[in-house]
Structure 1
């Protein structure tokens, strides 16, 4: 069967980029060519700079290796849409410097998308709005993420300065276990060597993290789930303001949105539920309600000052057409 060599090479590259091990016979069957043609096409990819590892013998085959440069990627329609959407919302992450980089990468990808895919991406972007915080004190540096990600992987001790409140600061020596995201917030779950206990640290409050150079045997986080440990730790934070809400959706359908809110289910009905929520101040309560309202209508039962704060927030969420 005659095939276009260029198209066949692109199809071969797409198969190799799945990062699995491919026997030559299976590649030949997928491409509808002989094994000799597959080997010739693999040599052509190597000449273009794609590092293809090979294993000889009865169970031999091929795998795309890690090279010194990032080669062009071959994406199918769904993968291209997923990457474009991910880059758009990465630009709104609470990581210093990532916004511009993400937007540059997004512009390159969207310029290459065919019209039908560009319309899908554009429709989603224009239909979804994100709540942005008015403060920048929760922004973290990508260098901190890199330090802790490597320390979690390699089980390496890390020292850093930590700001618990504006007045309270301390130096910590920890065994990093795992990074956990909660909305725009990033947390580190670690064993605090000086306190002899597990702790949760907000990455935006960490300064000057530095690997110590020594390693530790990994421990098991209480409960076995780092995300659940963070959720419990957040729930133990002092929260002096409480409110009662009616969410016009059954609890089972809204429970995922409430996961990171300090809340208590009080009543659950077929079309609504009654929830008690707590937070540090009215502003954070109002922002929690705004986040819930993206999924379901919310009514504030008490306190009255929170209802007023939500009304003020709503007046600032002006429709774009009213600004023109």
Structure 2
């Protein structure tokens, strides 16, 4: 019996479908879509693919995404293709008052760098392989923004998106620094740390590297599209094999119901206090990273323990308040 698809797999499939339909300048046939979106390629037969695709179309439309079915060529109306109407998809101009801008200013500390480089890049590579004319600007707004203080992040993310090799100096735990040459596949955040997974050309094997251990600049080497990314690579498994599991410091957080969903999803346990609040128990490796995330939710997430985490959150809130007060002082 086939494994039941997880919610995460369904979300990634829908995201890749949206990326594919935004990336093209002309409507895509069902055959092209089936080749571009990985779960569709794994459908056992045409009937299974049709059922999956029809369900996904309905779901996108229910979400308000303007999915259109129209002729590929106006002279041959019997061949239907699919696209997303970019004019209807784009958000209108947004306007914020002073209080809203203050909240957004605090939130922007936690949402500044692009993520999802792996899924987005994979969908785009498949469309390029099908010789689909790209419209890259249309997919820029899809990628959520996540804060990272890692200096290497931007260069690594760009390398993943363009399939360019990179070289950098790396200091592995308990070892001396050494030059590494890598064909990066994905950039991933796991338990508060950022990693790049890829093929280490010096060791002729897949490897994973923690960005915080990269010393100095990351240099892009060679031309874009210089290598292929294997469909079956497993970044999580690479990290598990490479990193020794630390002693996680538990944190207990009080989370307002319906808020702080990224924290709730990672929680080991979730308890209900009352109609307004939940109590969650969450693992973390870096108190600074978790403090930044807690601050981004404002009054919707409160730290019960440990004291170290609560102190870091309070320090960030005081700093934000003092900075805002200084800016408004006469």
State the TM-score bracket (shorter-chain normalisation). Answer: 0.3 to 0.5
User: TM-score normalized by structure 2?
Assistant: 0.45
User: TM-score normalized by structure 1?
Assistant: 0.46
- Name the structure, 1 or 2, with higher relative contact order (CA <8 Å, separation 6+): 2
